[in-house]
A and B are shown apart, each in its own frame.
Chain A
Amino acid sequence: MQENRLYKGQELAIKYFTVAIVLFGAQLLFGLFAAIQFLYPDFLFGIIDFSINRMLHINALVVWLLYAMIGAVYWLLPDEAGIEVVGIKLGELAFYILTAAVTVVVLVYLLVQVGAGNEWTLWLITEGREYIEAPRWADIGIVAVVLVFLYNVYATVMKGRKTGILTVLMADLIALAGLYLAGMFYTDNIAVDQFWWWWVVHLWVEATWEVYVAAVGGYILIKTLNANRKVVEMWLWIEVAMMFGSGILGLGHHYFWIGTPEYWWEIGALFSALEPVPLVGLFVHVLYDWGKERGKGNTIKNVPAFAWLTVETFGNFLGAGVWGFMHTLPQINLYTHGTQWPAAHGHLAFFGAYVAIMISAIYLAVQGKAGLKELKMTKAGWWAISLITVGVLLMTVALTISAYVQTMVERGMYGATWEGYFVAQANQWFVQGMAWRLVTGLMVIVGYVFLVYDLLTCTKKQPAEVYEGETATATA
């Protein structure tokens, strides 16, 4: 049963997934510190200040998701194309270079933290731009590594089978990588700075990443449900049309208040209001396929992967779609912009849209590595998915309550001044929301412990029928 028939690309995928899960833990740890500081500002003050915790929290998030995204592509690429990944040696080298670079960046963040106000700091320590703080040298390293990755993908697909899923991924990944370049320059003009900064941040998380998720989600449906490829790929193209159709110009909803012309009000409002539509489609699609396969009496080939995919589609719709829509219109956003509103939305959206599907992909790899034809949900697996999902949902509700208070008090009553800010922060309901955020954050951390345990042990804890008649096929 242990005779391994994984592709080299899939072995590389497992390496990427491993680092991803470690960084996920780091994200939660620094998020915890930041959450504590909201309630007890003296906690770690002068040692790891809020800004550092917060930077590590969001950077670990972005980097672990990118690791998992690259991992998932290396996992499905040889399987879809039907051949080994071309240039795999180069791909492995790139993995080690990237991981070494990430380690150095994190150590510098933690030990050096900030620099003097000159270009050297931007090159060596931090660029100080939310989400893409990584210093310039690391930017260049990231670009080099991504070029290797793109070469692997393109060369493999050219040589092997060109499926619809791979076609979408190829187009999407080149856009995703190209957009990073928009965040690699310096300007004194903060309005122009933020304009291009949103090209990276928005066109990643609200356009190219969403399309990536649709493509990988399609692959997971085929693997877990034996869903009909033709139908999956048709849905995928519809989703690409809707996601790019709404998401590209939906960028305008970040251009309401940063020194940009007024026409972005209308453009941003209209297109970003359409952004939830494809997310509903994704959710309906998954449930529809599930019902159809159940009707035929077919079992789910990988229950945890499918369960996480379901969480993804619902969480994506709720977090990115509903919570995003709640404050996307300029009439509302004038008051919610820069409050806990985006924090509430961001937590559920990142979790729903990206974290859940990456965990789903990792479960596919766990199954494939053990060579099991089926993977059932274990007890620990249920605890993990329940604690993490419910934890993030409740955290979002808690942050939303704080956000309401902040919007009403700081923005509505006090007109956004320094005094208004702190009056709102001290409001008992605001503080209560922050306290619940900490509690729910701990819930997520406990869930994470279950998750790690389950990923390491679930293949050994399957019910007897799973092992019976098991051949040494690499599922994948």
Chain B
Amino acid sequence: MDNKPSVWTSNRFWRRSATWVTGVSAVLLILLTFDSMAQMKMGTEEDIKNKVDRRIPSPVVINYKIDYQLNRTRGHEVPIIGGMDENGKSKYEEKEKFFGRDDWSEEEARELIHKGKLTIQAKNCMDCHTLLGNGAYYAPDLTKAWLDPAWETLAPAYNGKEYAMVEFLKNPPAMAMHERKMPNLGITDEEAKAVVAYLKFMSAIDTNGFPRNFGKIKGAVDARK
């Protein structure tokens, strides 16, 4: 090897390999990003009228009943918006009152979730909770929090779970449900409403089946009760 230089020990060869590999990977990533961005664009009211599934639906989904059901074709759970047809697809028909209304316009709904997202960032939710599974691990995941059975038990006493959630967010220690309390973050009534809207909207995002079996297995675990 000393007298016959090999390509495998040539710095020039490896430098060019590194450049090519990096370049090709970067180009592929950029192309895939364009495709992903197109698929992840927030849907519109039009899509809902035309019953077009979007990964991230229009915020007007807050007017509809949202569920999370197994889709046989895809092999995992998907959000079901406004009822499910026989093929396991969203019908976008069944409405559900949200703070007493089921006619939030696109503009109103967008304004609401805009405020909600800003509040979620301003209060640092992600440094205790996870959203879409990302964040800190000190408090429950909020991806499908809107659908959590725990809220169903509180809902009747507050005339609907959205009102229970607002009460909780405004002063969490007062409604503490666990020794590990959520602190009072000074969330106003308006902000709390917006956060709840965001949670409902987020539960309608298609997360490829994460989290698995959300809220389904309790029966199996406590089957003998």
- In the complex, whether A127 has a CB less than 8 A from a CB of chain B is yes
B17, B32, B114, B214 pick with most chain A CB within 10 angstroms = B32
A339 to B129, CA, bound (A): 11
Closest to A118 in B: B118
**What distance in Å separates the Cβ of B138 from its nearest Cβ neighbour in chain A?**
5
By the criterion CB–CB under 8 Å, are B216 and A249 in contact? no
- In the complex, whether A114 has a CB less than 8 A from a CB of chain B is yes
Contact A337-B133, Cβ < 8 Å, known A114-B124, A259-B206? yes
By the criterion CB–CB under 8 Å, are B21 and A261 in contact? no
Residue from B120, B122, B136, B211 within 8 A of A118 (CB atoms)? B122
Binds A, one of B34-42, B91-99, B155-163: B34-42
Binds A, one of B82-90, B100-108, B176-184: B176-184
Q: Which residues of A contact B134 (CB under 8 A)?
A: 130, 194, 197, 258, 338
Residue from B25, B135, B140, B179 within 8 A of A244 (CB atoms)? B25
Contact A188-B117, Cβ < 8 Å, known A129-B126, A259-B40, A417-B214? yes
**What distance in Å separates the Cβ of B19 from its nearest Cβ neighbour in chain A?**
8
**What distance in Å separates the Cβ of B5 from its nearest Cβ neighbour in chain A?**
12
By the criterion CB–CB under 8 Å, are B118 and A340 in contact? no
Q: Which residues of A contact B18 (CB under 8 A)?
A: 237-238, 240-241, 244
By the criterion CB–CB under 8 Å, are B56 and A259 in contact? yes
Instruction: State the main secondary structure of chain A at its contact with B.
Output: helix
Flag A108-135 by CB within 8 Å of B: 1 or 0 each.
0000011111110110011111100100
Residue from B15, B127, B214 within 8 A of A52 (CB atoms)? B127
Contact A126-B56, Cβ < 8 Å, known A338-B130, A415-B215? no
Contact A188-B42, Cβ < 8 Å, known A117-B115, A259-B205, A338-B141? yes
Closest to A59 in B: B127
- In the complex, whether B174 has a CB less than 8 A from a CB of chain A is no
Which residues in chain A, 229-243, are within 8 Å of chain B measured between CB atoms?
230, 233-234, 237-238, 240-241
Flag A53-85 by CB within 8 Å of B: 1 or 0 each.
011000000000000000000000000000000
Contact A49-B183, Cβ < 8 Å, known A115-B122, A126-B122, A257-B132? yes
Q: Which residues of B contact A257 (CB under 8 A)?
A: 132-133, 207-210
Contact A117-B123, Cβ < 8 Å, known A259-B205, A415-B216? yes
Interface residues on A, range: 35 or more
By the criterion CB–CB under 8 Å, are A237 and B117 in contact? no
Q: Which residues of A contact B11 (CB under 8 A)?
A: 164, 230, 233-234, 237
By the criterion CB–CB under 8 Å, are B211 and A416 in contact? yes
A375 to B178, CA, bound (A): 54
By the criterion CB–CB under 8 Å, are B221 and A129 in contact? no
Closest to A263 in B: B32
Q: Which residues of B contact A248 (CB under 8 A)?
A: 22, 25-26, 28-29
A260 to B32, CA, bound (A): 11
**What distance in Å separates the Cβ of A417 from its nearest Cβ neighbour in chain B?**
5
Which residues in chain A, 215-235, are within 8 Å of chain B measured between CB atoms?
230, 233-234
By the criterion CB–CB under 8 Å, are B120 and A128 in contact? yes
Q: Which residues of B contact A245 (CB under 8 A)?
A: 21-22, 25
- In the complex, whether A37 has a CB less than 8 A from a CB of chain B is yes
Closest to A121 in B: B122
By the criterion CB–CB under 8 Å, are B179 and A41 in contact? yes
Closest to B59 in A: A188
A464 to B224, CA, bound (A): 76
- In the complex, whether B119 has a CB less than 8 A from a CB of chain A is yes
By the criterion CB–CB under 8 Å, are A417 and B218 in contact? yes
By the criterion CB–CB under 8 Å, are A191 and B22 in contact? no
By the criterion CB–CB under 8 Å, are A338 and B135 in contact? yes
Q: Which residues of B contact A338 (CB under 8 A)?
A: 130, 133-135, 137, 141, 211
Q: Which residues of A contact B188 (CB under 8 A)?
A: 116-117
- In the complex, whether A335 has a CB less than 8 A from a CB of chain B is yes
By the criterion CB–CB under 8 Å, are B121 and A122 in contact? yes
By the criterion CB–CB under 8 Å, are A191 and B212 in contact? no
A416 to B147, CA, bound (A): 11
Contact A415-B126, Cβ < 8 Å, known A260-B36, A261-B39? no
A113 to B128, CA, bound (A): 14
Q: Which residues of B contact A415 (CB under 8 A)?
A: 211-218
**What distance in Å separates the Cβ of B23 from its nearest Cβ neighbour in chain A?**
9
Of the A-B pairs whose beta carbons lie under 8 Å apart in the complex, a sample of 7, sorted by A's number, is A121-B121, A260-B39, A261-B35, A415-B213, A415-B214, A418-B148, A419-B150
Contacts A45-B181, A260-B208 known; 13 new A-B pairs at CB < 8 A: A41-B180, A50-B127, A114-B124, A117-B119, A129-B126, A238-B18, A241-B14, A241-B17, A248-B29, A257-B210, A416-B213, A418-B140, A418-B150
